[in-house]
């Protein structure tokens, strides 16, 4: 059973509706991929991936971008043109050995606005057993 769930772009706040299976639990939407997560295209088989790589404003079979914009505090640039065309990453909760995996580094939703995109951090050992 799938149903639409709403998300918003962390850059400009444009709201998207994504048709997905109900058993998937969301972790976060970030402007960059989480370390250790594997992302599928929105037209792909994302139920078996760890998340979905989206492009703001690009509709797909199960993704519909709306005219609405979120006024949440963590929207990076509420005055930006919308949709902004940026990549964003919807991450599902992952479990390894029955324990919920935390991304590292911790999501830095607000810092990114100041210093420009800071990609995944440098070399780091596998911390989650992969
Ligand atoms: Zn956007």
Cα 126 to averaged position of ligand 1 atoms, centre (Å): 31
User: What pLDDT sits at residue 52?
Assistant: 96
Cα 122 to ligand 1 centre (Å): 26
Establish if 102 belongs to a structural domain: no
Q: Which of 99, 76, 78, 81 is nearest to 29 (CA)?
A: 76
Distance 37 CA to ligand 1 centre (A): 21
| pTM score, whole prediction | 0.74
Residue 129 lies in a domain: no
Give me ligand 1 centre to Cα 96, in Å.
Answer: 31
Residue 92's DSSP bridge partners are 26
The pLDDT value given to residue 1: 73
Phi and psi at residue 54, in whole multiples of 5°? -115, 155
Position 119 pLDDT exceeds 80: no
In this predicted structure, the answer to whether residue 126 has a pLDDT above a threshold of 80 is: no
Q: What is the C-alpha to C-alpha distance for residues 33 and 18, in angstroms, rounded to an integer?
A: 18
Interval between CA 5 and ligand 1 midpoint (Å) = 17
**57 domain-assigned:** yes
Based on C-alpha coordinates, what's the Rg of the chain? 15
> For 10-62, what is each residue's pLDDT tens digit?
999 999 999 988 778 899 999 999 999 999 999 988 888 999 999 999 999 99
Residue 22 is predicted with a pLDDT of 74
Count the domains in the chain.
Answer: 1
- Per residue in 62-114, pLDDT tens? 999 999 999 999 999 999 999 999 999 999 999 889 999 988 765 555 554 44
Instruction: Give the structural domain span for 32.
Output: 2-97
Ligand 1 center to 69 CA (angstroms): 9
Helical (H) or strand (E) element with 111: helix 111-115
Interval between CA 125 and ligand 1 midpoint (Å) = 32
């Amino acid at each position: 059973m799938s149903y639409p769930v709403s998300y918003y772009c962390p850059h400009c706040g444009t709201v998207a509706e994504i048709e997905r299976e109900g058993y998937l639990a969301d972790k976060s939407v970030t402007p960059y991929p989480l370390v250790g997560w594997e992302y599928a295209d929105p037209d792909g088989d994302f139920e078996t991936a760890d998340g979905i790589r989206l492009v703001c404003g690009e509709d797909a079979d199960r993704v519909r971008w709306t005219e609405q914009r979120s006024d949440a505090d963590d929207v990076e640039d509420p005055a930006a043109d919308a949709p902004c065309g940026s990549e964003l990453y919807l991450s599902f909760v992952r479990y390894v050995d029955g324990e919920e995996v935390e991304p590292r580094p911790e999501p830095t939703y607000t810092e990114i606005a100041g210093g420009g995109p800071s990609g995944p951090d440098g070399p780091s050992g596998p911390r989650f057993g992969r």
